[in-house]
């Protein structure tokens, strides 16, 4: 996204209600407190990249947004709905797993390990949710799936099973699969961490295209280069809190916090 668009997005974020609103999010695994009060707003159309050392809680936070992990304190809203809970007559009730499933249907997710369905072809993987969950017409879904496969550069791989694809190709199919439900929000959980170095670029290229098309994205990654080029905002997390956040050129070039500086110094070669 260019600077003008980014500034207008930032200006819009002040006026328009945020698509994602996280408040005081806490999460523990046993005695280990992984998230210690996260606040984050993401405006519609914004691309937010979350950076941080491993163990900083960034993946856990991402998985809380679509309730793959239940949070212990605080609240997360997506598109005006509180995820996993419902406020009625001044009482907050836990939602049934069926109702949570419905909430998740506008959020696309891309996993570190791709998690494609191995017994289905690339095309079947992509149309599974649109046809089976969203009740779309099969022919329409296939047409859109082929469209998406073309966008990720894999038109000829529609009949291939995941095992017959390289890691990078699998991840591109996984991105197409997540896009097929026409999500309002896309979550990327370290999408390139399981890839061989020479396959990272093809996946980042697809993600860069998406970022330029106004899709709201939250990306957890170690790819500083991607953050610099595609992010509207960079959030740096460490020890379960947001240490600092801001425009990528500020955070990456001129970090204020010593922990951010230490983290970025390890990636000096990518600059």
Partner 1 sequence: MSAPSVDESRAADAALRDVANAHRPIAWGRWLLWALVLIIATDFGWIVANNENFGWPVVAEWFTAPSILRGLSVTLGLTVVAMVIGVIIGLLLAIARMSDDRLLSSLAGLYIWFFRGTPLLVQLIFWYNLSTLFPQISIAIPFGPTLASWDTNDLITPMTAAIAGLSLNEAAYMAEIIRGGLLSVDKGQVEATDAFGMTRARALRRIIIPQAMRSIIPPTGNQLISMIKATSLVSVIAMADLLYSVQAVYNRTFEVIPMLMVAVIWYLLVTSILNVGQGFIERYYARGERGAGGDKAPARAMEEAI
Q: Which is nearer to partner 1, 77 or 124 (CB)?
A: 124
- Residues lying near partner 1 in the complex (CB under 8 A) are found at 66, 68, 97-98, 101-105, 107, 109, 111, 113, 115-121, 128-129, 132-133, 161-164, 181
Q: Which is nearer to partner 1, 64 or 252 (CB)?
A: 64
Q: Which is nearer to partner 1, 128 or 244 (CB)?
A: 128
Partners of 87 in the β-ladder? 92
Q: Do 259 and 55 form a contact (C-beta atoms < 8 A)?
A: no
Q: Which is nearer to partner 1, 181 or 204 (CB)?
A: 181
Task: List the structure tokens of 66.
Answer: 């679509």
Tell the smallest beta-carbon distance from residue 268 to partner 1 (Å).
33
Tell the smallest beta-carbon distance from residue 112 to partner 1 (Å).
9
Helices (H), the chain: 3-15, 58-65, 97-104, 122-132, 138-151, 167-179, 197-212, 224-230, 248-253, 258-265
What is the number of other CB atoms lying within 10 angstroms of the CB of residue 3? Answer: 9
Q: Which is nearer to partner 1, 122 or 149 (CB)?
A: 122
Tell the smallest beta-carbon distance from residue 94 to partner 1 (Å).
13
Tell the smallest beta-carbon distance from residue 88 to partner 1 (Å).
22
Instruction: Measure the CA dihedral 192/101/76/206, to 10°.
Output: 30
Cα 39 from Cα 78, distance rounded (Å):
13
Tell the smallest beta-carbon distance from residue 103 to partner 1 (Å).
7
């Amino acid at each position: 996204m260019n600077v003008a668009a980014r500034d207008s997005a930032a200006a819009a974020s002040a006026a328009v209600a945020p698509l994602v609103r996280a408040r005081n999010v806490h999460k523990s695994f046993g005695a280990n407190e992984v998230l210690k009060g996260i606040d984050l707003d993401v405006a519609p159309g914004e691309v937010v990249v979350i950076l941080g050392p491993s163990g900083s809680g960034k993946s856990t936070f991402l998985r809380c947004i679509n309730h793959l992990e239940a949070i212990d304190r605080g609240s997360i809203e997506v598109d005006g709905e509180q995820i996993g809970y419902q406020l009625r007559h001044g009482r907050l009730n836990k939602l049934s797993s069926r109702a949570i499933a419905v909430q998740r249907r506008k959020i696309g997710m891309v996993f570190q390990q791709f998690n494609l369905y191995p017994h289905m072809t690339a095309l079947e993987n992509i149309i599974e949710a649109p046809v089976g969950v969203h009740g779309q017409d099969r022919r329409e879904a296939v047409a859109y799936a082929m469209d998406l496969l073309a966008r990720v550069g894999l038109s000829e791989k529609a009949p291939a099973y995941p095992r017959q694809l390289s890691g990078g190709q699998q991840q591109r199919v996984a991105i197409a699969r997540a896009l097929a439900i026409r999500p309002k929000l896309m979550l990327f959980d370290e999408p390139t961490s399981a890839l061989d170095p020479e396959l990272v670029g093809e996946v980042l290229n697809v993600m860069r295209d998406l970022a330029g098309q106004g899709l709201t994205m939250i990306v957890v990654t170690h790819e500083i280069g991607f953050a610099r080029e595609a992010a509207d905002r960079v959030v740096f997390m460490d020890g379960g809190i947001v240490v600092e956040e801001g425009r990528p050129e500020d955070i990456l070039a001129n970090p204020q916090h010593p922990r951010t500086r230490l983290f970025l110094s390890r990636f000096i070669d990518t600059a």
